[in-house]
Amino acid sequence: MRKRILPALIGAFLLHPAQTQESVMSGFIPYDTHVEKLENGLTVIIMPIAATDLVAYWSIVRTGSRDEYEPGHTGFAHFFEHMMFRGTDAYPADVYNRILTSIGADANAYTTDDLTAYHISIAAEDLEQVMKLESDRFQNLAYAEPDFRTEAGAVYGEYRKNRTDPLFVIYEATMAEAFTVHTYGHTTMGYEEDIAAMPTMFDYSQSFFSRYYRPENTILFIAGGLEVAPVMRLVNTYYGKWEPGYVPPEIPVEPVQETERRIDVSYSGRTLPVLALAYKSAAFDPADRDRVAADLLVELAFGSTSEIYRQLVLDEQVLEFLATDAGLNRDPSVIFIYTRIKDPDKVDYVLETIDATIAQYQQSLPDEERLAALKSRLRYDFLMGLETPDDIARGLARHIAISGGLLGIEELYSAYETVSAEEIRAAARHYLTADRRVVAVLREQ
C-alpha cells in the first residue's frame, strides 16, 4: 500500500507581487516547507533540510496516461519522458549529459497514470547550474523529426519488452476490461497499435508538449541543503518568463459498473497462473471516509500480517506472493488484488478464499489491536523513509501531483488516525462487491 502521510499546512501569506501565494509548513515531517506560486502559474515547493549538502530537484508534470483522451494517440506522456532528454538549441543532448556527468548528478524520470516526474540528485552548490538546464528544456525543448522517429521506435521496443512480463500482460488486460470509456483503460505505455503508429505523429507530439508542458501544470519540488530566499530568486530568474498556456484534457466519465466482468488472458510464454481482481473505487479525497478506510482495509485483509497471507503464502505455500494496491488517483480508479498461483489446479480455490476473506470483513469488525498497529506502522514507515532529500521527494511526488500541492494531504493522514473498525467494515461493503469488479486469470496459451 502506498504510504500517504504528510504534516499540516499551517500558514499562508503573500510576500512578493510576482507571487500569488506563499505557505510555510511544519508538523509531522521534521522540516519546514515553503510554497509559492508564480504569476505564470508555476507552483514551487521548497523544503530546506539542515546537515546535508545534497539537493533533490524534482519537476512534476501533472500529466500522465490519464490525459491521453484523443483516440489513436495514447502513450505520449511516456514518450515525452524520453524526448525531454533530447536537449534544446542552447543545450543539445550531448552537452546536457556532459554537464550533468561533470557535476556527478543522478538524473532520471518516470511516467505513471497521473503524472510524469523528472528528478535529479545533486550537490547543493550545483543548484543554479541544474536549474538553468531544467528550466531551459521545459521551455525550449527542441527535436527534429528523425530524432522523434528514433525515440518512437525505442518506445515501441520498450513496450514489447514489457509484454514479456506476465504481470504487465494481465494488468493491461484487466484495466482495459475495467474501463471502457475512461483513459485509465490504457496503461502508461499506451495501446500497442498507437505506439506502433507513433513515428507518423511528429506534428501531434509538438501539440501535446505545447498543451501540457506549461507552468500551470507543473510543480517544482526542491528539497535539501538550501535556503528559501536565494532559491526563489533563482526560480524567478529562470522560470519567471515561462509562458502559460495549459489546455486541460477532456477526460470522459466512466459509466457505473453494475455487473461482474470475467476475462481469461492468454500468455505466449511459460508462466504460472496469475489471478487479478480490480474493484472500482473512488478518486483521492481525504474527506471521503469510505475511500480513506479502504486504504486500511486492503492492508488489514490482504497485507503481510493478514490471515489469508499466512494461510496461502506461508502455511499452505499455494501462492508465490499476494499483493494489493488501493490506488491513489485523480479520478475514480480500482483497488487491485493480484497473485501468482503455484498450482494451476488451485485458481478457483484461491479465488474462493479471497471471497471468503472479503465476506468476513463485510460481516465482522476487524480486530482493534491490528487496526491500531497498522496506523502506527504507517507513521513509522513514513518517518523511516525520510533518510535523504531524494527519499523525501520520491515519497511525496505522487501526493503533490494528485492534489496539485500540499493542501488537503494533512487531512488524509488525520483521517487515517481516526478510521474506526465500523468504517473498515463499511468500506468492505461499499467497494469489495462482485458487481463492481473484474476477475482476470492469466494462463499459458
Per the CB < 8 A criterion, the answer to whether 39 and 19 are in contact is yes
Q: Is 275 exposed, middle or buried (0-12, 13-18, 19+ CB in 10 A)?
A: buried
Quote the CA–CA distance of 89 and 140 in Å, as a whole number: 8
Q: What is the full per-residue pLDDT of the chain (445 aa) written as tens digits?
A: 333 222 222 222 223 334 445 555 545 667 888 999 999 999 999 999 988 999 999 999 999 999 999 999 999 999 999 999 999 999 999 999 999 999 999 899 999 999 999 999 999 999 999 999 999 999 999 999 999 999 999 999 999 999 999 999 999 999 999 999 999 999 999 999 999 999 999 999 999 999 999 999 999 999 999 999 999 999 999 999 999 999 999 999 999 999 999 999 999 999 999 999 999 999 999 999 999 999 999 999 999 999 999 999 999 999 999 999 998 999 999 999 999 999 999 999 999 999 999 999 999 999 999 999 999 998 788 778 878 999 999 989 999 999 887 766 777 878 899 999 999 999 999 999 999 999 999 999 8
Domains delineated in the chain: 9-239 (3.30.830.10), 261-444 (3.30.830.10)
319 grid coordinates: 501462492
Per the CB < 8 A criterion, the answer to whether 83 and 208 are in contact is no
Per the CB < 8 A criterion, the answer to whether 68 and 236 are in contact is no
Quote the CA–CA distance of 287 and 123 in Å, as a whole number: 39
3-state secondary structure of 132: helix
107 grid coordinates: 538524473
Paired with 335 in beta bridges are 279
265 grid coordinates: 488472458
Query: Residue 112 carries which side chain, given as an amino acid letter?
Result: T
